[in-house]
Structure 1
Amino acid sequence: MTGAEEPVLLHTAGRAAHITLNRPKALNALSHAMVRRIDEALKAWKDDPAVETVVITGAGERGLCAGGDIRAVHGDARDGDGTATAAFWRDEYHLNARIARYPKSYVAVMDGIVMGGGVGISAHGSVRVVTERSRVAMPETGIGFAPDIGGTYLLALAPGELGTHLALTGAQIGAADALLCGLADHYMPSAALRHFVADLAEMPVEQAVARHVQPSPPGELAGRREWIDACYAADRVEEIVQRLFAHGDPAAKDTAETLLTKSPTALKVTLAAIRRARRLGALEPVLDQEYRVSCAALNSPDLVEGIRAQIIDKDRNPRWSPATLGEVTDADVERFFTPLGEHELGLAGPNSVPKEAW
């Protein structure tokens, strides 16, 4: 494999070290090897006095990263025992936590598509830049899964019930809404990115940001807060759907219809995960919770079926099991949160890595 074919390219320029996700044909989807490569680089640069800033970008024109390699997840869940996927998630979630606690500036260029695992390697960073091309989403409920990579932690912190809305619907948002929801920090036009990244080689991050930052064009969610907050405050997904249908705003009705296309089990698990994430407070225990949920999903029929319908066969007609919200019991949901014993992720437990070692 030549250097240009490496899935992760690493180089330094002046004060900055650069990570480039280099699978443009796969929209820079993350493999296990890529996660390990990024983690190793961050460990090395942490102790390198020549590196003051780390910058992550995506190759190609379409975006930073479309998420994890869910084709591989599908094959492992359908034909294997899930061990490879669980190992991938373990390393990925540790990487997400490392990024969140990284002692140097971590600049994420969130241009174009940034979804799922792409959010995990960007939105936990300390300097997160969006553009007019940014499309940010956690679309997991559409494949019978729940937001992971610290996504329930990030969305639980969003104002009001905006995070619940994004988690359940998987809706894509642009720059202004990513800023509103706390998933990004700064807006720049995409045309400025090349100059911004070049400036990071020569000046502190704050100075480079100030040179290129601009006001964001308006978004959509601020004008929808009234019905989003009112409808998603309900304790059960069934009631959220009822409130959306009854509200009267056409956008609320459209949202209710969208929810009814998602995995009923994934919707209920996601709502429970968001509510519990708010109570857990810190990222590490939330990642531990997400690992339990994700591993349980490997044994749930909806994950294999959802990926089949959306990615493999592309018929967009998943046959969820159970098929309706009313058939998903509280016990069904609780199973996803069952502790894993010796297989726990352990970021918040006694076996966690001391933060001073990060």
Structure 2
Amino acid sequence: MTDIQIRTEGRAGRITLTRETALNALSYQMCTAIDAALKSWATDPAVHLVLIDAEGEKAFCAGGDIVEMHATGSAGDYSYGRRFWRDEYVMNARLATYPKPVVAFMQGFTMGGGVGLGCHASTRIIGASTQIAMPECGIGLVPDVGGSLILSKLSALHPGAGAWLGTTGHRLRAMHGLFGFADHLVPEAHWPALKAQICETGSPRVPPELESADLAAQADFYIEMRGIAAHFDKPRAEIAPSLAADPSELAAAALKALSRADPLATACHIEILSRLGPKGTITEALTLEYRFTHRCMEQGNFLEGIRAAVIDKDRSPKWPHAALADVTQAEVNAMLAPLGADELAFPEDTP
């Protein structure tokens, strides 16, 4: 496959995304190839760890390949999208529960499906170019690929933070990615040597002298983040008015993004975070996310969101609800209700 390179190098199983011209967006075939490699390496004594990276300076992975989902869904065929999400989520769960260390190097755009591929790794490395975001609510989807788990744990530490990031798609740039999505900030000039060292030794250790985080600036961001997150730690009907009363630029940007997002997806994301709480698991998160994505083309607004953002590019989606406050709890419950025989199932070798 020309979009991905899978091989072993030294003591490492290596996965490199090579779809640079498409910002390394994940196709269905790439997802299944990654999952097959992970299954194979899990019991291979020669593979001590897995290293995931990507070619190109612009993106680690900017998301999933959603054009085919729109084409098939618009024709009334929802099976392709449902199969894509189901198998991708199984791969996400495998990464999050992998029995060996997984190291991810994430440069540039790391969004949506890229978060699911890189941010469940046990050692997550970012650089100055990294921009991490979950922008799904803007296209009629909920933050998925297990991203809701990361966001729910952020909210447990900083109330409202997960709802802020998930509903607005706010980008965490460079060291801000250390806020729940990454572990180490390392200048990208050091990455080739560090990758070679990891492959040779089979150890995921990152030498402390390579770290470049500005702790003072990071602390300033935490203070700012807590202020904006507090608006989202309110009943959803009160979030927009609370933001409107805040004169800060960050609040204005959040309100603008919130007003453009799909109100139904936004309400469902907030509900998912509430249901997960601080003790949610990866399988619980993916199960809730899949209930939404399974329904999002037939009963939700995903097709309209993709039309406006990717197909017609008019950036003017016609959402059924005018605002977040207009979404009823019954509508949220319907999107997140159990799927019966279609409920997401995980293989026995995925804890």
Q: Does the TM-score normalized on the shorter chain lie above 0.5?
A: yes
Aligned residue in 1 for 2:126: 130
Question: Which amino acid in 2 is paired with 1:74?
Answer: H
Matches of residues 48-63 of structure 1 in structure 2 within 5 Å?
48-63=44-59
The reply on whether 1:146 has 2:145 as its aligned counterpart is no
How far apart are 1:332 and its partner, in Å?
1.5
How far apart are 1:259 and its partner, in Å?
0.8
User: TM-score with structure 1 length normalisation?
Assistant: 0.91
Aligned residue in 2 for 1:353: 348
Could you list the per-position Cα deviations for residues 74-117 of structure 1 after superposition, in whole angstroms to 9, with x for gaps in the alignment?
11221132111111111111101100111111001111110001
Aligned residue in 2 for 1:193: 191
Matches of residues 13-162 of structure 1 in structure 2 within 5 Å?
13-158=9-154, 159-160=157-158, 161-162=160-161
Q: Distance in 2 between matches of 1:226 and 1:91?
A: 35
Give the secondary-structure state (helix, strand or coil) at the position aligned to 2:176: helix
Q: Distance in 2 between matches of 1:203 and 1:280?
A: 34
How far apart are 1:261 and its partner, in Å?
1.2
Question: Which amino acid in 2 is paired with 1:189?
Answer: P
How far apart are 1:303 and its partner, in Å?
0.8
Identity of aligned residues (%): 38
The answer as to whether partners of 1:112 and 1:133 remain within 8 angstroms in 2 is yes
Please, which runs of 5 or more residues in structure 1 have no aligned partner?
Answer: none
Question: What is the alpha-carbon root mean square deviation over aligned residues?
Answer: 1.8
199-208 or 35-44, which moves further after superposition?
199-208
How far apart are 1:208 and its partner, in Å?
4.4
Q: Distance in 1 between matches of 2:207 and 2:283?
A: 29
How far apart are 1:249 and its partner, in Å?
2.5
Aligned residue in 2 for 1:330: 329
The answer as to whether partners of 1:301 and 1:321 remain within 8 angstroms in 2 is no
**Which structure is richer in relative contact order (CA contacts within 8 A, separation 6 or more)?**
2
Aligned residue in 1 for 2:181: 183
Q: Distance in 2 between matches of 1:332 and 1:280?
A: 25
319-328 or 239-248, which moves further after superposition?
319-328
The answer as to whether partners of 2:228 and 2:250 remain within 8 angstroms in 1 is no
Aligned residue in 1 for 2:320: 321
How far apart are 1:301 and its partner, in Å?
5.1
How far apart are 1:262 and its partner, in Å?
1.1
Q: Distance in 2 between matches of 1:221 and 1:302?
A: 34
Aligned residue in 2 for 1:167: 166
Please, which runs of 5 or more residues in structure 2 have no aligned partner?
Answer: none
How far apart are 1:354 and its partner, in Å?
4.9
Could you list the per-position Cα deviations for residues 300-355 of structure 1 after superposition, in whole angstroms to 9, with x for gaps in the alignment?
352111111111111111111223334322222111111111111034xxxx5255
Q: Distance in 2 between matches of 1:29 and 1:289?
A: 23
Give the secondary-structure state (helix, strand or coil) at the position aligned to 2:102: strand
Q: Distance in 2 between matches of 1:137 and 1:300?
A: 25
User: TM-score with structure 2 length normalisation?
Assistant: 0.93
Q: Distance in 1 between matches of 2:293 and 2:58?
A: 27
Aligned residue in 1 for 2:5: 9
Q: Distance in 2 between matches of 1:305 and 1:100?
A: 31
